[in-house]
Homo-oligomer: A and B are copies of this chain.
Amino acid sequence: MQLKQIFLFALAALAGTIVTAQDIKDDFKPSSLNQPGQQYPQVNSQGYARFRIFAPKADSVRVSLGLGGRGGTVLAKGADGYFTGTTEGPMDEGFHYYHITIDGGTFNDPGTLNYYGSTRWESGIEIPAHDQDFYALKDVEHGNVVQVLFPSKSTNTARRAFVYTPPGYSKDANRRYPVLYLQHGWGEDETAWSNQGHANLIMDNLIADGKAKPFIIVMTYGITNQLRFGHMREFKIDTFQTVLTEELIPYIDAHFRTLANRENRAMAGLSMGGMETHTITLNKPEVFSRYALLSGGVYSPGELKDKSKPGLIFISCGSRENPARVQQAADSLKQAGYNAVSFVSENTAHEFLTWRRSLYQLAPLLFQNK
């Protein structure tokens, strides 16, 4: 998928529905992603977001969410020095990145936690999803998220990865686990899947419910050279492929109790991470046996012939992206004899709720017989 297409999908989704002000319910609550003690931004039960920024001597404050390419939500200044405003319609459920523009400069909302997206730490807001239970922090046994610094000779530095180890990992020193290598999207980094993706909580809940077998997830930074937005064709996979397959995988296999073979190794990625997954799995079919593209393109049967047959191909996207393409690709793969599965996240676009749901669907299918 082209980056331009991805961007247009995002804009279309942000446009939302126009609803008149009388319909807005007065049950706003602080977003779950607010910094400790912060009352704003708030979200109501319909999915409207309300922002409040203190800048008593400013002339204009705007929020990038709400009207998409048309300028976002313009906040109105009150006599108390607070700028306040509400999105003109309900937002899609799930996580959204945003920023604010104050007198022409770009800043983050001081009320929220920050998440790395668009190559910067951005503000985040969460519109509670009707199915949010699957990524909720519950009273179950929790796995860990381990920050490792692994040596990378090819890039001449220590690189960071986060490794999810499932509940029980520390209990049985002889048990070994399959591994999923899971990549973030353009402008994000190795923090995305646990911070905004809640990959660890999704796995904890699936494992507690007996719906997925425990496995390890490894998340690292998928960019090894400078990459400018709109210049994706300049992207060379070789350097990242070297880091992943020649440096990270051997490090993980040496430092974690993995089942260190193709059959027990999967690769998945969202958006740009799906493009990386697509290319690397086709380049290195001897390394991975399960592939997943989350809003990140498709495989065709022609690409896969003459390669080691994967045990699973999972392709997903949000319903506001291009679900027909995803479903058709899975159908073609199935007709050609591949174990292909498609998933479409209802009423979501190129955003993290699509990918949280995709991981929730994917995880039970991975390493089924282990």
Q: Is A35 an interface residue (CB 8 A)?
A: yes
A119 to B35 CA separation, bound complex (whole angstroms):
8
Q: Is A37 an interface residue (CB 8 A)?
A: yes
Contact A114–B103 (Cβ < 8 Å): no
Contact A103–B104 (Cβ < 8 Å): no
Decide yes or no: A110 and B113 within 8 Å by CB, A36-B119, A58-B102, A255-B170 being known contacts. Answer: no
Q: Is A279 an interface residue (CB 8 A)?
A: no
Q: Is A130 an interface residue (CB 8 A)?
A: no
A351 to B56 CA separation, bound complex (whole angstroms):
31
A120 to B37 CA separation, bound complex (whole angstroms):
9
Q: Which residue of B lies closest to A145 (CB)?
A: B147
Neighbour of A107 across the interface among B57, B107, B157, CB < 8 A: B107
A149 to B146 CA separation, bound complex (whole angstroms):
12
Q: How far is the CB of A168 from chain B (nearest CB, A)?
A: 10
A146 to B119 CA separation, bound complex (whole angstroms):
25
Q: Which residue of B lies closest to A58 (CB)?
A: B103
A119 to B110 CA separation, bound complex (whole angstroms):
12
Contact A142–B146 (Cβ < 8 Å): no
Contact B146–A145 (Cβ < 8 Å): yes
Contact A108–B107 (Cβ < 8 Å): yes
A62-121 at interface with B (beta carbon < 8 Å): 81, 102-108, 110, 113-114, 119-121
Contact B139–A158 (Cβ < 8 Å): yes
Name the B residues within 8 Å of A119 (CB-CB): 36-37
Neighbour of A110 across the interface among B106, B142, B145, CB < 8 A: B106
A217-256 at interface with B (beta carbon < 8 Å): 255-256
Decide yes or no: A142 and B137 within 8 Å by CB, A55-B102, A57-B104, A102-B107 being known contacts. Answer: no
A108 to B111 CA separation, bound complex (whole angstroms):
11
Neighbour of A103 across the interface among B56, B150, B151, B255, CB < 8 A: B56
A115-150 at interface with B (beta carbon < 8 Å): 119-121, 137, 139, 142, 144-150
A158 to B55 CA separation, bound complex (whole angstroms):
36
Contact B103–A57 (Cβ < 8 Å): yes
Contact A56–B108 (Cβ < 8 Å): no
Neighbour of A56 across the interface among B37, B105, B113, B142, CB < 8 A: B105
Q: Is A21 an interface residue (CB 8 A)?
A: no
Q: Is A60 an interface residue (CB 8 A)?
A: yes
A173 to B110 CA separation, bound complex (whole angstroms):
45
A366 to B103 CA separation, bound complex (whole angstroms):
53
Name the B residues within 8 Å of A150 (CB-CB): 142
Name the B residues within 8 Å of A59 (CB-CB): 57, 103
Q: Is A9 an interface residue (CB 8 A)?
A: no
Name the B residues within 8 Å of A173 (CB-CB): 173
27 contacts between A and B (CB under 8 A): A37-B119, A54-B105, A55-B102, A55-B104, A56-B104, A57-B104, A58-B102, A58-B105, A59-B103, A102-B103, A105-B110, A107-B110, A108-B108, A108-B110, A110-B120, A113-B121, A137-B158, A139-B158, A142-B148, A144-B147, A145-B146, A146-B146, A146-B147, A147-B194, A170-B255, A170-B256, A173-B173
Q: Given contacts A139-B151, A170-B255, could you give 10 more A-B pairs where the C-beta distance is less than 8 Å?
A: A35-B121, A55-B104, A55-B105, A58-B104, A81-B104, A114-B121, A142-B150, A146-B147, A147-B147, A173-B173
